[in-house]
Amino acid sequence: MKFWISAAALALFALGLALSPVNEYFFYVSYRVLTFVVLATAWNILGGYAGYVNFGTPAFFGVGAYTAVVLFQWLKAPLAAQIAGGALIGGLLGFGVGMLTLRLRGIFFAIATVAVIFITETLMINWRYVGGATGLQLLRPEVMAPFENYIRMLFVVMAWMGIAAVAVARYVQDSWIGRGLRAVRDSEEAAEASGVPTLKLKLFACTVMGALMGAAGAPMPMYLSFIEPASTFNLDYTIGALGSAIIGGMSHWLGPIIGALLLGTLQQIITVTISGEVNVLVVGVLLVLFVVVAPGGILGLFRKWLPFSR
């Protein structure tokens, strides 16, 4: 109950913020940070709970973005339909990749997800309708009533999506699904032997992850008014999602949020003040550092003072 009240309060706060006269740049940056909250939360459902590493964040994200572009170009579909479409295709992709490789050891799944990035990128590079390698300029439609401009609206959309993603992750974590996934992570043989439907659970987690990532990608073309394969299928999304979850802490839904807010903000600051390369370097170094020194992430460091366990 406490969760839902704070979720509703946050949703209203985001809406209020978007209608207030806060500087435009704030929304521009926050949208990016919030995207990483959704991606990291989605990543953690499979990676954190079940222990299967997904390197393919940009594939799911990109497929969502391109689905939105196709729906927009073809049917002039509204944003909500674009997001639903992105989630659907992202989820299907997650299910497909899962069917193909979740029977195998985790390393094979991880490598397969890298493959999916490059294959989807190559397909988009060679598909003229969505702009091919050079990309496509998109004209934003008129913004809806209470909002002053499109970026403010997208900020609210992404904030709500973040809250929804966290609610899904929280549900998965606290239900029998999460218990099953944790059993898979600790010992897959033991889980299977004691009657946990391991493959079904992994497939479910992979599908939900894909759908959330696809949804997170869908508003991206409208945010940039542009789409192009190289930046859409960029491995920076991989390290952002995986890094946020691991740095924040993978055992609880709060971890990826903390990680993404911290990392996302840090990245924005470094990109502006130093350079984009240094920002990726910092994330890489932090990731290795945390994995080696503090495997429990930030949550693990403060576990003693937190009111909940695991």
Partner 1 sequence: MIFSFDLLFEAVLFGVLLGCFYAAVSIGLSVSFGLLDVPHVAHPAIMVFGSYCAYIVAGWGLDPILAGLVLMPAFFVLGVLIYRFYYETFERRGSEAGVRGLAFFFGLAFIIEVGLILVFGVDQRTVQAPYIGSSLALGDYRLPYRMLVAFGVALVLTAALTLYFSKTFTGRAIKAVAQDEPALRLMGANPVRIKQWAFGIATGVSALAGAMLIIIGPVEPAMDRVYIGRTFCVVVLAGLGSMTGTLAAGLILGIAESIVLMLFGASWAPAVAFGLLLLVLGIRPQGIFGR
Q: Does 5 bind partner 1 (CB under 8 A)?
A: no
How many residues touch partner 1 (CB under 8 A)? 45
Select 67 or 244, whichever has its Cβ closest to partner 1.
Answer: 244
Using the minimum distance from each CB to partner 1, give the nearer residue, 221 or 243. 243
Interface with partner 1 (CB under 8 A), residue from 185, 217, 251, 267: 185
CB-wise, 219 or 240, nearer to partner 1? 240
Q: Which residues neighbour 29 within 8 Å (Cβ) at sequence distance 6 or greater?
A: 268
Q: Does 38 bind partner 1 (CB under 8 A)?
A: no
299 touches partner 1 (CB under 8 A): no
State which of residues 13, 25, 118, 176 lies at the interface with partner 1 (CB under 8 A).
118
End-to-end CA distance of the chain: 20
Cβ neighbors of 153 (< 8 A, separation 6 or more) are 18, 79, 143, 144, 147
94 CB burial (10 A radius; 0-12, 13-18, 19+): buried
Phi, psi of 226 (to 5 degrees): -165, 150
What six digits make up the tokens of 213? 């990532």
Choices 120-128, 138-146, 147-155, 159-167; region in contact with partner 1 by CB under 8 A: 120-128
Choices 51-59, 150-158, 160-168, 264-272; region in contact with partner 1 by CB under 8 A: 51-59
Binding status of residue 101 toward partner 1 by CB under 8 A:
yes
Cβ(15)–Cβ(156) below 8 Å: yes
Residue 235 lies near partner 1 (rule: CB under 8 A): yes
- Nearest one of 89, 117, 73 to 227, comparing CA atoms: 73
Q: Is 22 in the site for partner 1 (CB under 8 A)?
A: no
Residue 136 has phi, psi (to 5 degrees) of -140, 130
Of the candidate residues 89, 183, 280, 298, the single one contacting partner 1 (CB under 8 A): 280
Residue 296 interacts with partner 1 (CB under 8 A): yes or no: no
133 contributes a contact to partner 1 by CB under 8 A: yes
* C-beta of 183 vs 218, nearer to partner 1: 183
Residue 104 within binding range of partner 1, rule CB under 8 A: yes
Smallest gap, in angstroms, from Cβ of residue 60 to partner 1?
A: 15
Quick check: 301 binds partner 1 (CB under 8 A)? no
x-or-dash string of contact with partner 1, 188-227, rule CB under 8 A = ----------------------------------------
CA distance 143 to 162: 21
Residues that bind partner 1 (CB under 8 A): 47-48, 51, 53, 55, 100-101, 104-108, 110-112, 114-116, 118-119, 122-123, 125-126, 133, 185, 235, 238-239, 242-243, 246, 250, 277-278, 280-281, 283-285, 287-288, 291-292, 295
